[in-house]
Structures are given as C-alpha cells and as structure tokens.
Copies of this chain bind each other. A is one copy, B any other.
C-alpha cells in the first residue's frame, strides 16, 4: 500500500500548481492532499541527483518526518534529517550557526539541497541557512502549517531574529520548489489554522474583492478540508506569487502584503511575542482591523466596510480588537516607538498599508505619526 502511494505521481490526483515567475529563479508550488507522499518524486524531477539535508522542528518531525523520509527513499534520494527545537526562539544566530555547521557536516556539496519541513519558523531559519551555506544551496520548502503554505513559504523572504527585532537578519532567497500538502493541516491545532486563515483573508482584503466574497461564502469548507481548502491555498499562493513576481525585493508593490502587519507586529512585540497571548496571525487579524479602522478615520472607507471585515474575521473565530488580547498592554507611546523601529520605516516617515475598500489596499508612505498616536490611544482605551 505504501509503495503504491509513493509511486503514484501527483498528476494522478487533482493537485494545483502555482508558478512563481522570477526569470531563471522561477519555481512551482504544488498544492493538494497527499503531496507529501510523492515529495521524493517531485524533488527528484526538479533537482536530479541532489542529496538533501531535511530540517524540521521536533514537533513536525514527530508528525511528518517518517512519511516524508519514506517518500524520499521511494525516489532513492539520500538524505539527512536535522531537528531544531520548536518555537520562535530557534530563529536565532545560535541555531543559524549550528545548522550551517550540520549541513556542512553532512558533506552536502553545491548542487545538493536543503529542505525546510515545517511551519514559518522552520522555513525562515532553514531558508537563511540554505542561502548562506556555500553561498547558496538549492532550497525546497515543505510547509506544514496554513500560515507557511499561504505566506512564509512563498516569495523568498528568509531570516532570523536579533535583539533589535524580528526578521532583521536574513536574505531574499527563492526556493526551487514548494510542496504544500493540505492534508497535513488536519493535524494543525484550530488556533493555528485560524491564525493562518488571517493571511488568506488578507489576500482578499488587499487586492481581490471576489476572493473575499468567496471566503465569506466558503470559509467553513476551507476549515473542514477538501477542495475548498486547496482552492483557498492556491488562490492565496497565486496572489502572493503575482505580487512577488512584480516586486521581488520589496521596493514597492510588495509592501501591500504587509496589510495589517505594522500594527500586528507592534502588538506581537508589545506582548513580548508570548504566543499564549497572541500568535502572528492573530496579530495580523487585529492589525487588519486597525488598518481598516484607521482608513475609516482618514475618510477613505465607510463604517459598513469596517463592519463587514470585522464580521468575517470574528465569524471564523479570530480576534478583531486590541482588547481581545488577554492581559495588560503598554501605552500608545510604546507602540509608536515599536512602529518607528519597525523595518518598514523609510527615512523617518511612517509607511502604512491603507485601503479604499475591500480589495483596494494601497501603500501610503507619508502617514503623520501624530494621527497614528491619537488613533492608537483611543483604541487602547476603547
């Protein structure tokens, strides 16, 4: 039975493929239930003869490493598995150094590849390692969370954290292949699925009103699994791929993907990244609400639009206001400091992603800090 599954190619199933167009660095994202089982064949087709170092956190290794290794063995791919502790704290210089050393200890050469099997933390950390070892090994992303499948595994942003903030050290480094098995999301805790869904909804809100309509009608099926989930992942990846193809290094349009993220990152930072209180996707959900409310404050949209966004995010179970975060929060002045130090600052001016309606987000590079401060003060007291 296992052999049958492993020998089956994904073309026998109803997999979806999204192409990220980046010239000589273009790559495919394969999306569908069971992609993990045929991962070996997919990788061998793109990187013939490559040996692999597979990096996974301990949790994901327990859940999915055996199936992934089976699939690699079925394709006769030599590989070494390296595990990292689960959690954001692994995105650090120490683990970066250790993993670089371990990949070299496995005697991988140019032409071999490094694989990230896991969520966003594993993908970000592993991608930076892949970019740096021998000045760049081939890299494969096998994202196992919804957040990683629709966001962090696509587009080539890799990195680690340092004492000055998150993701401040890293590289733009594109994978050669992304394999998104939507069946592995069955084992994802509901809270993490919801958090990933915030990024799915983001693609509708920032540039595709039809997709947002579709999500309002189909979100239950996306959570339940099956075709609608694959469709939501594929449309999200396509949306991100389009933006990345137009602006790989985030000099312009790519900033739209940060809708909700300036406020969201500030909230995550304000709770010291304690995931019991707030995970990234929840920060993005509240951040998107704040971006819409701030756009309303500036007269860009009406309260009906704000209400519609709040209704949908609330319906799926995401937090929609600052007060949904348990525990005390710092004053507005602290948030302003965090925002000022955020890397989406350009020569001192505040850049925000604002919106003129569902699917009509835009980059505003010259937002008056005093307006943001007043707005946040009010929201914190609400």
Measured CB to CB, the residues of A under 8 A from B are 49, 93, 96-97, 100-101, 104-105, 107, 109-111, 128, 131-136, 157-159, 162-165, 167-172, 249, 341, 343, 345-347
Contact = CB atoms under 8 A, between A and B. Distances in A.
A346 B134 CA distance: 12
A258 to B, nearest CB: 13
A44 B126 CA distance: 36
Contacts of A167: 135
Contact of A101 (B104, B162, B341): B162
Chain A residues touching B, majority SS: mixed
Given A101-B162, A104-B164, A163-B101, A111 B169 contact: no
A12 to B, nearest CB: 32
Contacts of A111: 346-347
A9 B74 CA distance: 65
Given A100-B168, A135-B158, 4 more contacts: A110-B346, A131-B171, A132-B171, A136-B249
Contacts of A345: 109
21 contacts: A49-B347, A93-B93, A93-B97, A100-B168, A101-B162, A101-B163, A101-B164, A104-B164, A104-B165, A104-B168, A110-B343, A110-B346, A111-B346, A132-B169, A132-B171, A133-B168, A134-B343, A135-B158, A135-B167, A135-B171, A135-B172
A135 B170 contact: yes
Contacts of A100: 162, 168-169
Given A93-B93, A163-B101, A249-B136, A109 B169 contact: no
Contact of A105 (B101, B131, B164): B164
Most chain B C-beta atoms within 10 Å of own C-beta, residue among A107, A163, A168, A341? A168
Contacts of A163: 101
Nearest to A171: B135
Nearest to A249: B136
A100 B249 CA distance: 20
Contacts of A135: 157-159, 167, 170-172
A129 to B, nearest CB: 9
B168 A346 contact: no
B93 A168 contact: no
Contacts of A249: 136
Most chain B C-beta atoms within 10 Å of own C-beta, residue among A110, A135, A157, A346? A135
B347 A136 contact: no
